[in-house]
Structure 1
Amino acid sequence: MKVHKMINAKDKSSMKARLARIEGQLRGVQRLIDADEPDCEMVVQQMAAARKAMDKAAHTMLACIIEAHIKAGETDDLSDLGALISKYA
């Protein structure tokens, strides 16, 4: 049985805001690259920040999945949780 937990309205709004900030960061990286003489260190620094922000958003969604599986009684032991984490991490 596949368990689906739907994100609530408050969390959905928060996630959309987070993704909009990440989108802005990525546009900023594009602007840096478009500069006449791009500063490679600045570009990679901004890329790392965007990657970390995306990872944090993904971890939030992974927690949602794990919570749904636990509430549905689909995880009998830690190896089940490990498999879920390995699948998406």
Structure 2
Amino acid sequence: MTTQPATAADSTALVLNRLRRAQGQLAGVITMIESGRECRDVVTQLAAVSHALHRAGFKIVAAQLRQCVLDEQDSACGDRLSEEELEKLFLTLA
């Protein structure tokens, strides 16, 4: 079974899905705090929110990298990020 390369629309949909999931998790954390849940439970869920946000950020950077590679072949990219800019974005998430 071969997989097709992800399109920009596919990547955007995946990022939005991750962000919506994180939004729901964050709402859950707020509810947990309001209801006086155990610190351990709250922190565990907060870590899940943080992880979901990082994954969304990495997906955005990865999609940009893929686009840059494709644009290298097409050379019609107006807003291509430099290697240094991409590295800085990755480090921002690290």
Give TM-score, length-normalised by structure 2.
Answer: 0.66
**In the aligned structure 2, how far is the partner of 1:85 from the partner of 1:14?**
22
* Residue 33 of structure 2: aligned partner: 33
Q: CA deviation at 1:40?
A: 1.0
Q: CA deviation at 1:81?
A: 3.3
Structure 1 residues 17 and 33 mapped into 2: Cα distance closer, same or farther (>3 Å)? same
Q: CA deviation at 1:22?
A: 0.9
Q: Which has the higher contact order (CA 8 A, sep 6+)?
A: 1
1:18-38 deviations in whole A, cap 9, x for unaligned?
A: 221111100000001001x33
* Residue 86 of structure 1: aligned partner: 88
Consecutive unaligned residues in structure 1, runs of 5 or more? 1-5, 75-79
Consecutive unaligned residues in structure 2, runs of 5 or more? 1-6, 76-81
Give TM-score, length-normalised by structure 1.
Answer: 0.69
Q: Does 1:45 align with 2:47?
A: no
**In the aligned structure 2, how far is the partner of 1:16 from the partner of 1:69?**
21
**In the aligned structure 1, how far is the partner of 2:85 from the partner of 2:56?**
19
Structure 1 stretches of 4+ with a deviation exceeding 3 A read 80-83
**In the aligned structure 1, how far is the partner of 2:71 from the partner of 2:20?**
32
Calculate the aligned-residue CA RMSD, in Å.
Answer: 2.3
* Residue 8 of structure 2: aligned partner: 7
Q: CA deviation at 1:83?
A: 4.1
Count of residue pairs brought into register by the alignment: 77
